[in-house]
Amino acid sequence: MKRQMKNPDDARQRTPGANEEFDMRTNSLTQTYASSGILQTRHVRNRCGLTDRRAQLIATLLFGEGGN
């Protein structure tokens, strides 16, 4: 007899509020690798009050991504 895998979607559908959470995950903007450097630079600039170039250099050191 063949054993069938259960569909994990069935459990999600039975959970209260799961449909709203699933919709938010599927419709939200995903952060790409290209945008993460921009977001990290913006975070450092706003938090420390630095110029764009210095914030980019510090974000590169902190978050470990290549700089320009």
pLDDT digits (tens, 9 = 90+) for 13-67: 555 555 555 555 655 556 565 568 888 888 889 999 999 999 999 988 988 766 5
Task: Give the confidence band of 12 by pLDDT, cuts at 50, 70, 90.
Answer: low
Please give the Cα distance from 51 to 9 (Å, whole number).
47
pLDDT at 1 over 90: no
Q: Which pLDDT does position 57 carry in this prediction?
A: 92
Domain boundaries, the chain: 33-63
Q: Which pLDDT does position 37 carry in this prediction?
A: 82
Question: Which value, to the nearest 10 degrees, does the dihedral of the CA atoms of residues 58, 62, 65, 68 take?
Answer: 10
Q: Is the pTM of this model over 0.85?
A: no
Q: What sign has the CA pseudo-torsion 46, 50, 53, 58?
A: negative
The answer to whether 63 touches 40, Cβ cutoff 8 Å, is yes
Quote the crossing angle between the two packed helices 52-63 and 33-48, to the nearest 10°: 120
**CB within 8 Å of 35: residues ≥ 6 apart:** none
